[in-house]
Structure 1
């Protein structure tokens, strides 16, 4: 190899290295919700944008959407799988029962072990003031795990069906989801058994309201716990 070829090759490698240095680091993002559909409705746009940045995104569901005494037909698990495929995420289930969430020492410790194994850089979960007991339970489980894990990940709260489920939520950070709204819609409508037309209409109104606050067509709002590490939202 002559000197000129060597210099050209070195220059090419230098450009490549520079481009690689500019790429955002791959992070682990966990979005926790009470039921299949909650993460998708509450922050499906943010999930899509995080996945598009190359982040490893997990949707963590407290239960499979089947109440006690009902047959485990796998319908909602399959719907969650389809929604995650659309959003480029991975589904994971805690294993509790829809409508019968348990929050005690044993469940706190088991949940912390599960979350520790995922090694998240950021976790999104329900705002704790919520009219649904399963949403409140998931929020408490995440918060306790965050404390057990020495506040090692950024902790964000999101809203679902604001005013109907989530109440008294005042976001301080926003993600513009205008461009990925069609994908969020498809992920939510993957939950065919859950009347997505009715629920998505309300969530769409919330996203438009948050968009007005941010200055875009549609946005999702969040509150980050100030005692945790920072995390750059898309």
Structure 2
């Protein structure tokens, strides 16, 4: 029997289309600019989950939007929700500037996210207004309710749009938050890991030097070993995507 990492490598095949050749549902090998939306629950989730991939897209001239479900209102001890939101919004803007992405906010509250008909409708309208070719979001099996919420909101938007964009899931805090995550695709982030690190460290209120980035750095190395490079981010591709929109190492 193949080892776990070997089975994964075999299942994804060899390589993925170059970012300059992403199809976004078009003909394979077609070179054109696409729109990427990365939907995360809190400030720092998109950056830690796929910041290297965001940087790769933006470096090649593709438009990247980072959609934050909340402003991290509950994320700073001894700060009011309003104070924390102001601090973390500023950190989002700094991180997105590093990654050359545009931040937008869905208006839900950290720790009190909701799933309702109106919330599904509002999120779907916000996402469709961006006309994405590809959307990344949290893997839905996760110990954090807010992570699960944005994943389901993004999935519903994809389904209601008649699968008009490709959908991929990313991981955060593997084991303690994201669980049962078995990648279908990898992206070599060796050339952009320094930008990912800088974007994560822009979230200074979260103490990345002693907190969340240490775990994600280990994840980057582990996923790299799985796919045969130094550093990688991994994703689960929805099997009903129209095309393939990830880079090749």
TM-score (norm 2): 0.83
> RMSD of aligned C-alpha atoms?
1.4
Question: C-alpha deviations, 1:43-90, integer Å up to 9, x for none?
Answer: 000000011111100000000001399241310000000000000000
SS at match of 2:65: strand
Matched, 1:38 2:45: yes
- Aligned residue number for residue 171 of structure 2: 159
Deviations 1:118-165 (CA, angstroms, capped at 9, x unpaired): 000000000000010000000000000001100000000000010011
Which has the higher Rg, Structure 1 or Structure 2? 1
Among 214, 234, 246, which residue is 1:221 paired with? 234
Q: Whose relative contact order is higher, 1 or 2, with alpha carbons under 8 Å and at least 6 apart?
A: 2
Q: Does 1:62 align with 2:69?
A: yes
Moved over 6 A (4+): none
Alignment equivalent of 2:222, drawn from 201, 209, 213? 209
Structure 1 residue corresponding to 2:204, chosen from 177, 186, 192: 192
CA distance in 2 between counterparts of 1:223 and 1:84 reads 23
> 1:177·1:218 contact (CA, 8 Å) conserved in 2?
yes
Confirm or deny that 1:232 pairs with 2:245.
Answer: yes
| SS state at 1:196 partner | coil
Following superposition of structure 1 onto structure 2, how do residues 1-234 of structure 1 map, counting pairs within 5 Å? 24-67=31-74, 70-73=80-83, 74-197=86-209, 198-234=211-247
SS at structure 1 position matched to 2:82: coil
The gaps in structure 1 that reach 5 residues or longer are 1-21
Please list every run of 5 or more consecutive structure 2 residues that lacks an aligned counterpart in the other structure: 1-28
Residue by residue, what CA displacement relative to the aligned partner does 1:11-37 show, whole Å, maximum 9, x if unpaired? xxxxxxxxxxx9831100000000010
How many residues end up aligned between the 2 structures?
Answer: 213
Paired residues of 1:24 and 1:53 also in contact (CA < 8 A): no
User: 1 or 2, which has the higher helix percentage?
Assistant: 1
Query: Is the CA contact 2:55–2:100 (under 8 Å) kept in the aligned structure 1?
Result: yes
Structure with the higher strand share, 1 or 2: 1
